[in-house]
Amino acid sequence: MTEQKIYKHQSGFQLENGFFLEKLNVVYHTYGTLSAQKDNVVWVCHALTANSDVFDWWKGIFGENYLFNPKEHFIVCANILGSHYGTTGPLNYPSTENPLLQAFPAFTTRDLARIHDLLRLELNIDRIQLLIGASLGGQQALEWAIEQPEVVDKLVLIATNARHSAYGIAFNETQRQAIYTDPTYGNGTASGGASGLKTARAIAMLSYRSYDGFLKTQTSPNNHLTEDFPAASYLRYQGQKLADRFNAYSYVMLSKAMDAHNVGRKRASIEIALQFIKAKTLVIGIDSDLLFPVSEQAFLAEWIPNAILAIIDSDFGHDGFLVEHKQLSDLLSDFLKYDKNRPSNGI
């Protein structure tokens, strides 16, 4: 398989807000071998709380016996800035002895894309044959394809948007408020805010799933219950599960980066920014997604030149991209075979 690797960028990096990171570490995984022609790169941009081991969290799509496998593809997945899993962030800033925690500087999805482009250059990758991302990962992939249109050949955007919505921002803010009310948040320890993080995750699950999904999987067959309902215990379980593997400071920073996502910022407009993309693009929505409704993917497909829009039928809401492996794999397989010539944007 592969081992986790660390790229240590020693010359520093200036964030979009002007803050200068003196040093920068990026944790990443690669799978397979880069071909002599360098024409088999698949780069994955992960979602909010995922890590760089895509074979672990996106099974059914990535792996030895799946569509994206190391026998055919050179697969790269890098952990994002601010995350819990080793890349520079609130718990891990190489220029200081102590973690910065809530004092870590704010960053954006544009910063995430620019940092991973530094890793691309370090890995001597000239072109990315397929760039794929879902949710926050899709926001990052979108920024990357706009900033580096000559680098990306094919682009897959799943359950994502060009600008984070007021509804999505509101959901994120309720989660942050849950963390802020935890008296241990900001107490100087890496574990601060863990209780609040559990509640935040429970709130998030309501946006990740759907009414029909909860009805189908969390309805008790016992009509006589008056407490201890499956839906309640499920949310407690999900909250504890995240608190065991993630930290509240990263969660706050990453949710704020998602809120700030807007490809039109400092550009002429969102619509014009999307037209800079030259990659052959597949945009995938999920029909039951509350957080990133299909209308947002339809907007992307309308303004990205010659993009294709596809919809996954699922009861699992936003999390459908992690659940509906067969539908997603079929759509991606068909897209990989798609070789229609497209004119240059001419922008």
CA distance 299 to 309: 10
- In SS3 terms, the chain reads as CCCCEEEEECCCEECCCCCEECCEEEEEEEECCCCCCCCCEEEEECCCCCCCCHHHHCCCCECCCCCECCCCCEEEEECCCCCCCCCCECCECCCCCCCCHHHCCCCCHHHHHHHHHHHHHHCCCCCEEEEEEECHHHHHHHHHHHHCCCCEEEEEEECCCCECCHHHHHHHHHHHHHHHCCCCCCCCCCCCCHHHHHHHHHHHHHHHCCHHHHHHHHCCCCCCCCCCCHHHHHHHHHHHHHHCCCCHHHHHHHHHHHHCCECCCCCCCHHHHHCCCCCEEEEEEECCCCCCCHHHHHHHHHHCCCCEEEEECCCCHHHHHHHCHHHHHHHHHHHHHCCCCCCCCCC
Residue in the structure block whose two tokens are 């509240």: 248
CA distance 310 to 64: 26
The residues assigned a catalytic role are: 135, 289, 318
Best CA proximity match to 331, nearest among 315, 301, 298, 308: 308
